[in-house]
Amino acid sequence: MSVEAIHAHAARARAWLFDAALPLWWAQGFDRANGLWHEKLLLDGTPERSSPRRSRVQARQTAVYAIAGRLGWQGPWRDAVEAGVKVLLGPARAANGGPVHLLAPDGAVLNTGPDLYDRAFHLFAMAHAARALQRDALIGECALLMQTLERDAALAQGGFDEGVVAPSPPRRQNPHMHLFEALLALHAATGDVIWRARADRLGVLFRDKLFDRDVGVLVEAYDDAWVALPERTVEPGHHYEWAWLLGAWARAGGEALWDAQERLIAFAERHGIAPHGAVWDELHRAAATRTSRLWPNTERIKAGLALYERTRESQGLDIAARGCDALFAYFETPVTGLWRDCRLTDGSFADEPAPASSFYHIVVALSELLRIEATLP
């Protein structure tokens, strides 16, 4: 039954993505007058035009369409990727080669502050764009950006200074996780061992500092020595996301931290699922944060598929199928191709625009679903 469910979910995902979401977000989600991606679409499918534009969202949308081209979408993915690259190398690029943080709707720079999270997604986007467009110069841009980061922000304790956008300490695992993801994407795009070696250092940071072996959890915030802060907030979505990344790291020739992968998934499955079936946003010592954003559900899909890819046992497919059931509920919108972003305690959804930032999570999860589904009988 798990195999049948995955086949059915993959067919639904492909139709929703290829026939509705990708065409809609290219037609309405890109501001052609100013050459930038919109931050949000209203639930009638029209853009919300007034919000400042985060450079990380410009990067995410660029990666979305690069991945769409690799998946076989026959729409104008190349035009979308070219438009995104033009943003990343134009208004979103600071004088030192790194990304600015924030742009006005007309492209004027609002905040140049360096930020590790932004840098991670610029690397991720250019890795996927270089692979899709077969443009080696974009890998050169990544090399320069990474060299600057290593020169200016590397920490003796491991990891990197996050910049000025987010206060530090606390040090956060999240931007380091996304940098790990970007470095693995660069290794996949190039085959160059230097990117794997850089990813390895962050994998070791996870192994030695971030993952609490005694409890089997990943904590979100740390002091300067990478000691977890007392409040020990955890996010089930990040447990799933790291579980998937550990699988990708092992496939790339990195360490096989299978015990950590299994324990991350087990903790999230045991403590992180709301009664309505979606993933809770956060867990604290006292209680959970009683909302469920869209993105943790995409990570549950990826983690389940990663578990199946390693073990070939139905448990992983069961987890992925339940993640699909939860995710597709967010797609029930007045205009097909949009999504709800936040599910409330009672199972209802907040009435708010669809954020472009979620499309990256969706597309990566659905690309993994389609990849694994193609291997099933």
* pLDDT at residue 263, rounded to an integer: 98
In this structure, the number of other CB atoms found within 10 A of the CB of residue 69 comes to: 21
pLDDT of the residue at 287: 64
Bridge-based pairing state of the strands 342-343 and 354-355: unpaired
Do residues 354 and 37 lie in contact, with contact meaning Cβ atoms separated by under 8 Å? Answer: no
Give buried/exposed letters for 112-126 (b at 16+ CB in 10 A, else e).
Answer: eebbbbbbbbbbbbb
Residue 203: which CATH number? 1.50.10.10
Rounded Cα gap, residues 149 and 138, in angstroms? 17
For residue 72, CA distances in Å to 18, 201, 302 come to 9, 34, 20
Instruction: Name the domain count of the chain.
Output: 1
Tokens of residue 98, six digits: 């790194």
Domain carrying residue 117? 2-373
287's CB contacts (< 8 A; 6+ apart) are none
pLDDT of residue 168: 85
pTM beyond 0.95: yes
Give me the average pLDDT of each 10-residue run along the chain (377 residues): 95 98 98 98 98 98 98 98 98 94 98 97 98 97 97 97 92 98 98 98 98 95 95 94 98 98 98 96 78 98 98 98 98 98 96 98 98 97
Whole-number CA gyration radius for the chain: 19
CA 283 – CA 285 distance, rounded (Å): 7
